[in-house]
Amino acid sequence: MTPTTSPVARAISGPAAAAAIGAACTVLKLPTIRTEAARIAEAAARERLSHTAFLAEVLSAECDEREARARTRRVNEARFPRPKRLADLDLSVLPGLPPATLAHLAEGAWIGAGEPVVLLGDSGTGKTHLLIALGTAAAEQGRRVRYVTTAALVNELVEAADDKQLSRVVGRYARLDLLCLDEVGYVHLDPRGAELLFQVITAREERASIACASNAPFSEWGATFTDPRLAAAVVDRLTYRGHIINTGTESYRLRSTRAARGTGPRPPQRAPVGEHAEADSVEHREGAASV
């Protein structure tokens, strides 16, 4: 058996070293080191870093860039319709969303606990912005996220059922860490579509989080799901141990524009919504059951 020998350092010219680094990085799939090694080496020489410190620097640069690419990939895979971030929210025009509640949701612990988030409010009050921003934060934290409107999801499920692929599609949605379901209550669902959507919600119950946005109060969801019992069951699953945020009735876009221009009255202050809304959710579930 031939003994293993340690690599021997040898003199090599600058151009030859650059070529060797480029070739090795291509084989090892280290694009950041390939492009940044020379710059980091110059900085290391100026700072008189040790060889070990230089190696740590180039490897850290590769890891940081790889993580950045992964964050971008996860956000792209979520299929958000447009970029929205929590930092872009003007909380002064959303008095029903206290900073402490937003900070709690931004941390993402509710996703790990399988807790739902429900955003209720009229059109233009910031629901979709919040939904996308929370989903983006979750994706950048390493979670598998998917954004979809209710109508698009139901259409996908109906097509999958017709193609005898329903179990596969439901399973794919069930494996997500966070499902961002927008425009609940915007369109009337036929009984078949409502039942298929209920399958996805049930598959994620108390195991994986759903964040949804609706412009209708829970008491009106019976008009969307047609069957009052099914509507009550959906509300029950989306509110149990959930976070319910009311974004109000005044247009967030209009208030933001007025605030930016310094015109128009300031919005009235409303009582803050707590982080958990278990007591309120019971009331909402009872209201849905009476539809």
pLDDT, tens digit (0-9, with 9 covering 90-100), for 29-85: 889 888 888 898 888 889 888 889 888 998 998 898 988 899 999 999 999 999 999
**Beta bridge pairs of residue 179:** 146, 210
In the predicted structure, residue 7 carries a pLDDT above the cut 50: yes
- Please report whether residue 7 resides in a domain: no
Percent of residues, the chain, with pLDDT higher than 70: 83
Strands (E), the chain: 117-121, 145-149, 178-184, 209-214, 243-248
Residue-range definition of the domain harbouring residue 150: 78-289
- Please report whether residue 6 resides in a domain: no
pLDDT of 11 reads 66
Mean pLDDT, the chain, integer: 84
Residue 280: how many other CB atoms lie within 10 Å:
16
- If asked whether residues 20 and 107 sit together in one domain, one would say no
- If asked whether residues 89 and 42 sit together in one domain, one would say no
The residue from 55, 76, 97 where one domain ends is 76
- If asked whether residues 192 and 84 sit together in one domain, one would say yes
Under a CB-based contact definition with an 8 Å cutoff, are residues 250 and 210 in contact?
A: no
- If asked whether residues 110 and 138 sit together in one domain, one would say yes
In three-state secondary structure terms, 286 is: helix
All residues at 6 or more sequence positions from 196 whose CB lies less than 8 Å from its CB, including other chains: 154, 157, 158, 161, 166
pLDDT of 34 reads 87
- Please report whether residue 2 resides in a domain: no
pLDDT of 9 reads 59
* Cα–Cα distance, 231 to 248 (Å, whole number): 22
Place of tokens 């509507």: 231
The residue from 44, 61, 76 where one domain ends is 76
In three-state secondary structure terms, 144 is: coil
Under a CB-based contact definition with an 8 Å cutoff, are residues 93 and 256 in contact?
A: yes
Please tell me the pTM assigned to this model.
0.75
Q: What is the mean pLDDT of residues 240-260?
A: 77
In the predicted structure, residue 291 carries a pLDDT above the cut 50: no
- If asked whether residues 43 and 183 sit together in one domain, one would say no
Percent of residues, the chain, with pLDDT higher than 90: 46
Place of tokens 């921003």: 133
Residue 110 host element (H or E): helix 109-112
- Please write the tens of the pLDDT for every residue from 169-205: 999 999 999 999 999 988 889 999 999 999 999 999 8
In three-state secondary structure terms, 290 is: coil
* Cα–Cα distance, 274 to 271 (Å, whole number): 9
Low-confidence winner among 9-13, 88-92, 103-107, 191-195 (lowest mean pLDDT): 9-13
Number of H helices, E strands in the chain: 13, 5
Greater confidence, 225 or 157?
157
Number of domains in the chain: 2
Greater confidence, 5 or 93?
93
- Please report whether residue 1 resides in a domain: no
In angstroms, the Cα distances linking 179 to 111, 173, 184, 215 are 10, 7, 13, 18
Q: What is the mean pLDDT of residues 158-179?
A: 95
pLDDT of 200 reads 95
Across the beta sheet with 209-214, the strand order is 145-149, 178-184, 209-214, 117-121, 243-248
pLDDT of 5 reads 57
- Please report whether residue 5 resides in a domain: no
User: What b/e sequence results for 144-179 when a residue is b if at least 16 CB atoms lie within 10 Å of its CB, and e otherwise?
Assistant: ebbbbbbbebbebbbebbeeeebeebbeebbebbbb
pLDDT of 264 reads 54
Place of tokens 């807790």: 115
Q: Which of 71, 62, 180 is nearest to 127 (CA)?
A: 180
Under a CB-based contact definition with an 8 Å cutoff, are residues 127 and 160 in contact?
A: no
**Beta bridge pairs of residue 245:** 119
- If asked whether residues 201 and 258 sit together in one domain, one would say yes
- Please report whether residue 4 resides in a domain: no
Measured in whole angstroms, the distance separating CA 196 from the mean position of its chain's CA atoms is 23
- If asked whether residues 20 and 117 sit together in one domain, one would say no
| Radius of gyration of the chain from its Cα atoms, rounded to whole angstroms | 26
- If asked whether residues 110 and 122 sit together in one domain, one would say yes
- If asked whether residues 69 and 164 sit together in one domain, one would say no
What are the φ/ψ torsions at residue 248 (nearest 5 degrees)? 90, -165
- If asked whether residues 64 and 84 sit together in one domain, one would say no
pLDDT band per the 50, 70, 90 thresholds, residue 263 = low
pLDDT band per the 50, 70, 90 thresholds, residue 243 = very high
- Please report whether residue 225 resides in a domain: yes
- Please report whether residue 57 resides in a domain: yes
- If asked whether residues 160 and 270 sit together in one domain, one would say yes
pLDDT of 276 reads 42
- If asked whether residues 53 and 168 sit together in one domain, one would say no
